[in-house]
Structure formats: C-alpha cells, structure tokens
Structure 1
Amino acid sequence: MILSNTIDVAGYRVTEFISLVNGNIVQSKHVGRDIMAGLKTLIGGEIAGYTEMLSDARDMAVQRMIDDAKLKGANAIINIRFTTSAISQGMAEILVYGTAVVIEKENHN
C-alpha cells in the first residue's frame, strides 16, 4: 500500500478514486505512566512514556485505515491527514483519513 499526504504520487497516475477511508483509536492514560509523567513535570522534558503510547496509537490508526482501503480494493491512499481530539479527562482520539485510490505506474516512452 502506497501512502501519501499529497494528492499525487510521483511516477504514478490515479486510475480510480474509490472513497474516503479512515482509521481511529481512542487511547487512555496508563496509571503507571501518569505517575511518571507527574514526576517528570517537576523537572521538565519529554515524557517518553506518553510519546511512545501516542506513537503506537497513531500506528494502529494508520493500520486500520490501510485495512479499510484494502477491503475496498485500493492500492494507495492519498491526501492523508491526522487529527486528534480530547474525548474526556485522560482520553484522546487519534483519527487518520485519506482518499483510497487505485494507481498505476506511468509509462514514459
């Protein structure tokens, strides 16, 4: 699956637009990470546990979007965008969406 945050993929042309596809996940804080984050706020710096948690959540959301596109017969997703929102105290949603398409290599004779 080719993924692009632009509307074009160099060397390919879109032969079919399929549909909007998306993937999302709602992630909550882990008590152990929350305790460490509280301690880290005293001295400042990156809270690595949260960074890792959100990175994993983003990867899961992307995989869900890819699975959606594959089910619809796409071989690429273009114009990919990410968004986040707070659901409630300690919970956040990560949403990724894009346009599922079929692309093929361009012939330059």
Structure 2
Amino acid sequence: MIITTTENVDGKQQKILGIVMGNTVQSRHISSDIGAALKKVVGGKLKGYSKMLKTSRDEAMQRMIEEAEKLDADAIVNVRFTTSQTMASAAEILAYGTAMKFT
C-alpha cells in the first residue's frame, strides 16, 4: 500500500475508489496533566502528550489503511490529519485521504 500526501502516484494509471478515513479519540491521563502543568512553569518537552499523539496518529492511520484495504486499494493519496477537541480532556485524531486502484 502506497501512502502519500501528493495528489497522485507518478507513472501509474489510477482509478479513484473514494475517500477513506480512520479516527481515534484519546483522553489525557491525570499524570500527563500534572507533568504538563509542571513543564509549563519550568519549560521543556511534554513527553506524555507527545507519546499519546504519536500513538493516536498511528492508530488513526492504521484504521484508514484498513478501510482502504477493504476497497482493494493500491494507494491512498492526498493524506491529511486533523484533530478536534471532543470534550475538555479528550481529542479526536482523524486521518483521511483518497483510495486509489492502479489500472
């Protein structure tokens, strides 16, 4: 499976299969909030949040790929990520793109 942020895959004839998406909703852990509050005072990386966001992006991407595989896609092009706050302590990560079949 080719995953790309470009609009197409060069050198390939392609058929559009449709939009595919994958998402996940994650909430923060109280220890992450405490650590973040301390880092706000002294500065530094928020490792707990960084790890949570990477895990969430990976999960959303995998779910998008699984949706494309159900369509028998060869590639997902124009891949994007977005995030939104679903409640005070939770956020959704959404991965989306266009599933393509090589012809």
Alignment partner, residue 93 of structure 1: 92
Which blocks of at least 5 consecutive residues in structure 1 are unaligned?
A: 105-109
Q: CA deviation at 1:103?
A: 2.2
State how many pairs are aligned.
Answer: 103
TM-score with structure 1 setting the length: 0.89
CA distance in 1, matches of 2:10, 2:45: 36
Superposed structure 1 runs of 4+ greater than 3 Å apart:
none
2:7 is equivalent to residue 11 of structure 1: no
| TM-score, normalised via structure 2 length | 0.93
Larger C-alpha radius of gyration, 1 or 2?
1
Between the aligned partners of 1:48 and 1:72, the Cα distance in structure 2 is: 37
Deviation of 1:9 (Å):
1.6
Query: Which ranges of structure 2 fall in alignment gaps of 5 or more residues?
Result: none
Amino acid in structure 2 at the alignment position of 1:98? G
- In structure 2, C-alpha distance between the alignment counterparts of 1:30 and 1:103, rounded to whole Å: 43
Q: Structure 2 counterpart of 1:96, which letter?
A: A
Equivalent residues in 2 for 1:35-46, closer than 5 Å? 35-46=34-45
